[in-house]
A and B are shown apart, each in its own frame.
Chain A
Amino acid sequence: MSKKILLQHINVPGIHTLETYVAHGGYQSLKKAFSMSPDEVTEEVKKSGLRGRGGAGFPTGMKWSFLDKKSEKPRYLVCNADESEPGTFKDRYLMQHIPHALIEGMITSSYALGARTSYIYVRGEMMNVIQILEKAIQESYKAGYLGNNILGSNYSLDLYVHPGGGAYICGEETALLESLEGKRGNPRNKPPFPAVWGLYGCPTVVNNVETIADVPWIVNNGGEAYAAIGVGKSTGTKLISACGNINKPGVYEIELGVTVEDFIYSDQYCGGIPNGKKLKAVVAGGSSVPILPAELILRTINGEPRLMTYESLSDGGFVSGTMLGSGGFIVYDEDQCIVRNLWNFTRFYHHESCGQCSPCREGTGWMEKVLHRIEYGHGKMSDIDLLVDIAKKIEGKTICPLGEAAAWPVASAIRHFRHEFEEHVRNPESCCKRHLHRSMELVH
């Protein structure tokens, strides 16, 4: 069995309550952290090699050390629980079942950062998760883990849940901060980064739910123990949301380093593909990362088995590799249509673009319309290269990475499955689901 850090007690009845959570070792990291200086806690996180679990994989300890400590202003920790990347549902699972894991992580992390007020920004659709968290926070206040002078440490913290309103872009950290300030979720131009100019113009760290929930274990067991798990620079465990055409969809905590093949086919994880169908393709890290055909997701271009690590998945760069991203693992069997799936994804980005910068605002809609044409049998051969060119003209030209997130799926699907696009143009009858026209149109 693979090591469990976050989900070890997931099946314990009542683990969502403070009492049961504490009975299973919960909230121990507080005492340990308070016996250390904030910088020592940060140091342990650095040593752990923990990398952001929200998608970009940026080293967490390093991010924390960028926080502007010279500033006289208050500092904030904001938890990114906006989880909206298609294919990703791990944060919701964790918060719903073990809310105190996140709250404990928020307290130790806020202590390390010197934050006196912290927010958990939860996407508004997860109203019941918000209620679960609110309740857990109240329990935590009552037990003296939150509020003034926590456990006699002289450290005080207020923690609030803040609901979003329905916008994928608010997962982008600066859009999230704008949204938390009560504005439209328009990402900010960077620099300045949140570490210097974040919430209310104050130094701020934004971290993913899973990242923060990993911190208590690191504090309890030491950064080195965490770093000993996993492979190379991919330390620790990772929650993978597995979905699509697999026998056992769900959230799995894996030690970074299991092989992709094992992850897809072993009964411990996805349990293979239903109905004896063949594997066609995988989107390994949420909809924004490049799609890979079966042969390239199982083995790198050099024939090595592909591992579930940051490095192995990106082996081959954008030509033959992809990214671990948020760990949203979407599996496609041989019956799935790459063109239709891509059209669906481009519609998503078109719908979710905040509309601030011209390449993304105009380009995402253009790509969607061209793909819609191809999928519904009105495509031209030249449309395929047109799509590649539009994607190229968006990528790297935008305010925030949603531009890339919209461009990469297009570029990679055409790179690896061009024949399927050509077949749609040549033979419109091959477009599988044209009868489902109206209901799947973009309705704003």
Chain B
Amino acid sequence: MNNLKVTIDGKSIEVPPGTTILQAARMIGENYPPAMCYYTPLKETGGKCRVCLVKVTQGSEANPRPMPKLVASCLTRVEHGMVIENETSPEVLEARKGVVEFLLINHPLDCPVCDQAGECDLQNLSYKHGTESTRYEEGRREFDKIDLGENIQLHMTRCILCYRCVYTADQLTNKRVHGVINRGDVSEISTYIQNAIDNDFSGNIIDVCPVGALTDKKYRFKQRVWFSKPFYAHRECDKCKGEAVAWVKNNDVIRVTARKNKFGEVLDFICNNCRFEHKNMNDWTIGEPYEMDNDSVITTNKYKVLDHSPAVNVDAKFVSE
């Protein structure tokens, strides 16, 4: 089949049939829509968070009518001759601002004490699309923290219900023990009866979590992420490829994560053995420094600016430390 031509924010590209708008925009490589729930390595993800909404001003060459509503770019496949507006559309930007506001109204904004601070997709998103102040005056939703076994902690209050961890468990492990219970805005990720998540690949749910809801218990509070340095690391492993990132401080491996592409998606899932049990420098062959996603607040050094935004109430003392 012939490639399809799409135009996004005035830039055109040819893509194979089946490509989604988001993928096409990522191929163009600039100002692609954000994605909080869609995750390329996981089947069935996407469509839930709605931050990736874009406007289709021309459906296709054959049927040029615009689409009546904004569409989720992560799931909508391109047609030949499709014309899309992302950041050039005020309607899209306004809608995205709305979605970010919705995601934040029940988010605890406890960034100063959150392990994910500095590598949090929601933080990055609200920096780029959020508003100055919150209009939300009602009480926030709260949940107790729970331990999912000895390695992983769930801080449900921070969860944005992207369902990524559920798909991870479904697709990487043979016996899913956690899922989404309850419904509406009291839905929560849980095992329901405090089952430990115990499976060789369960640790990956930490890496796919876009916020700080699932964290590595063995790493928690050891260091803020930006005080350690990430390196490509490798070890021989019979369960996974053993290709990981070692976060190093003072010649100590303080945590191990999977390698991700520039869209924050895991390249190769790693096993729990590599992730949780190998914290010595000589467990690993340490390689080059690991490059960070160029959109992150860490790499763009915008963290301080963010502190002054009341919508994301980051305590300044962590930055000046």
Contact = CB atoms under 8 A, between A and B. Distances in A.
Chains A and B bind each other: yes
Interface of A: 167, 184, 189, 350-359, 361-366, 369-370, 373, 386, 392-393, 396-399, 444
Contact of A393 (B95, B106, B161): B95
A377 to B, nearest CB: 15
A276 B46 CA distance: 55
B225 interface: no
A350 B102 contact: no
B109 interface: no
A211 to B, nearest CB: 24
B49 A361 contact: no
Interface residues of B, number: 33
A358 B97 CA distance: 12
B72 interface: yes
Interface stretch (B167-175, B177-185, B192-200, B278-286): B177-185
Interface in B33-54: 46-51, 53
A358 B48 contact: yes
Contact of B103 (A362, A392, A396, A444): A362
Contacts of B138: 366, 369-370, 373
Nearest to B51: A358
Contacts of B103: 358, 362
A361 B101 contact: no
Given A355-B184, A365-B185, A369-B138, A397 B99 contact: yes
A366 B105 contact: yes
Given A357-B50, A359-B50, A362-B106, A352 B184 contact: yes
Given A354-B184, A355-B186, 6 more contacts: A189-B72, A354-B183, A359-B98, A361-B187, A397-B70, A397-B99
**Nearest 5 CB-CB pairs, A to B?**
A393-B98, A362-B102, A189-B47, A355-B187, A369-B138
Contacts of A358: 48-51, 99, 102-103, 160-161
A338 B187 CA distance: 30
A59 to B, nearest CB: 18
B222 interface: no
B183 A167 contact: yes
Nearest to B187: A355
Contacts of B187: 355, 361
A245 B102 CA distance: 37
A184 B99 contact: no
Nearest to A351: B184
Contacts of B51: 358
B161 A396 contact: no
B184 A353 contact: yes
Contact of B180 (A184, A363, A392): A184
Contacts of B53: 397
B28 interface: no
9 contacts: A358-B99, A358-B160, A358-B161, A361-B187, A364-B184, A393-B99, A393-B101, A397-B99, A444-B186
B136 interface: yes
Contacts of A369: 138
Nearest to A403: B50
